[in-house]
Amino acid sequence: MTTRRNFLRGAAMGAGALAAGKASAAGPDPLITELQDWASFTGAGVDETPYGLPIRFETDVIRRNVEWLTASPISSINFTPIHALDGTITPQGCAFERHHSGAIELSKQDYRLMINGLVDKPLVFTYADLERFPRENHVYFCECAANTGMEWAGAQLNAVQYTHGMIHNMEYTGIPLRLLLQEAGAQMDDNLWVYVEGADASSNGRSIPMAKALDDVLVAFKANGEALRMEHGYPVRLVVPGWEGNMWVKWLRRIEVTDAAVESREETSKYTDVLEDGTARKWTWVMDAKSVITSPSPQMPIEHGPGPMVISGLAWSGHGQITRVDVSKDGGMTWETARLGKQGDSKALTRFYLDTQWDGKPMLLQSRAMDETGYVQPTKAQLRETRGENSVYHNNCIQTWAVNEQGVAENVEVS
């Protein structure tokens, strides 16, 4: 429908384009000296965007996938545009998705959560039942164990969105799993396990040690203040702070207390790490400290000349807080300590900045995270020494971007 307002907006766009052309010529800046259309006509009414989306100038800040990675988009992955975000919170609308059998549509009315196994009273909760339990708010990162998995054998994908974008960080509202286990009269000995599964066709079943289940695991129904999006497990998902994303079961439907791990597909043939001698490491749940520079990076070239510049990135650790991030401009020979945007939350993304000067010369940019346990993020060479080159999952090595004189960045490996 062409309303008068739309017509005026179209006219305003044309005039804006002309003004921009003039601005590039020498002389007074018409954006400063001339009355602009957006100050002359009224804007959009409150009835036009009942639920807001990003302005059209930001439409390239979206999840993207790498088509050749998986055989089908139903069992696949897309990546968070971390190069274009700042701060730490990931908006749900561009937070990466990982499904083994597609995202399902499950209503609150049709939702049921069963707790069974080694419990006094097996229980089935409706969504309304869950809303009557005490709930908490926590910010946590969720990182797929396969994040950076393509980079083991050498620099592969030329974008931080693809090398490190299987991560998101949200504020969850949820019930401590401990409270639901108590309600069912679950046995809680340290040698017991809970087996959790989802309502989707894949079920994505995983075994979690009882100690973790009683510690900080949440049965969550809100993220960043609003209902979970379908693709993130609406109406209820499990949040397993600091542990690999695969355990964060979406569309959570059953929790069974067991006396042994189930050894499901997702914890044997998948999400384990094949070592040099052919054996596989398993039960590698915690995501070790890791960091990456998001700007400059291949999708975020430097678009100014020498002088002041901001280097920025993200750091996180499944063991707790990030305490320090160092940045190198020379491939790890010398390091400067970056400034944290704010004191890091435990098991959540921490933003870092290095406010620095660019001399216009090429750089080999790296970042290196340290966490509260004293753990230091390893180089790729150090990681390969202990893990070989056959792994896919749990690659937390230091990333290098080579920046040339034009400010263009490229994914490289330094030895």
Site residues, ligand MTE (CB under 6 A): 95-100, 142, 144, 168, 198, 200, 202, 204, 231-232, 245-246, 248-251
Residue number with the smallest Cβ distance to Co ion: 144
CB-nearer residue toward ligand MTE: 98 or 387: 98
State the minimum distance, in angstroms, from the CB of residue 249 to ligand MTE: 5
Binding mask 94-123 for Co ion (x = CB under 5 A): ----x-------------------------
Q: DSSP string spanning 5-21? A: HHHHHHHHHHHHHHHHH
Bridge-partner residues for 330, per DSSP? 364
State the minimum distance, in angstroms, from the CB of residue 246 to ligand MTE: 4
Token output for 370: 């340290």
Rounded to whole angstroms, how far apart are CA atoms 65 and 73?
Answer: 9
Contacting Co ion (CB under 5 A), which of 94, 95, 115, 144? 144
Bridge-partner residues for 126, per DSSP? 112
CA distances from 170 to 147, 165, 192, 208, 223 (A): 17, 14, 29, 22, 6
CB-nearer residue toward Co ion: 112 or 270: 270
Rounded to whole angstroms, how far apart are CA atoms 146 and 246?
Answer: 9
Residue 232 touches Co ion, criterion: CB under 5 A? no
State the minimum distance, in angstroms, from the CB of residue 123 to ligand MTE: 20
Instruction: Work out what residue 208 binds among Co ion, ligand MTE, none; the CB cut-off runs from 5 to 8 Å by kind.
Output: none
Residue 272 touches Co ion, criterion: CB under 5 A? no
CB-nearer residue toward ligand MTE: 214 or 249: 249
State the minimum distance, in angstroms, from the CB of residue 43 to Co ion: 42
Residue 247 touches Co ion, criterion: CB under 5 A? no
State the minimum distance, in angstroms, from the CB of residue 264 to Co ion: 14
Instruction: Work out what residue 248 binds among ligand MTE, Co ion, none; the CB cut-off runs from 5 to 8 Å by kind.
Output: ligand MTE
Token output for 338: 């970056």
State the minimum distance, in angstroms, from the CB of residue 355 to ligand MTE: 32
Residue 246 touches Co ion, criterion: CB under 5 A? yes
CB-nearer residue toward ligand MTE: 202 or 356: 202
CB-nearer residue toward Co ion: 117 or 245: 245
Question: Is the alpha carbon torsion for 171, 177, 179, 183 positive or negative?
Answer: positive
CB-nearer residue toward ligand MTE: 62 or 364: 62
Extended strands (E) in 106-162 = 112-117, 123-126, 136-143
Query: What is the rounded (10 degree) CA torsion for 275, 279, 282, 287?
Result: 0
State the minimum distance, in angstroms, from the CB of residue 66 to Co ion: 15
What is the CA 115 to chain-centroid distance, rounded? 29
Rounded to whole angstroms, how far apart are CA atoms 335 and 157?
Answer: 25
Rounded to whole angstroms, how far apart are CA atoms 110 and 127?
Answer: 9
Instruction: Work out what residue 316 binds among ligand MTE, Co ion, none; the CB cut-off runs from 5 to 8 Å by kind.
Output: none
State the minimum distance, in angstroms, from the CB of residue 65 to ligand MTE: 12
Q: Which residue has the tokens 């695991």?
A: 217
Q: Which residue has the tokens 């991030």?
A: 325
- Residue in 130, 113, 240, 243 with CA at minimum distance from that of residue 179: 130
Query: What residues make contact with Co ion under the rule CB under 5 A?
Result: 98, 144, 245-246
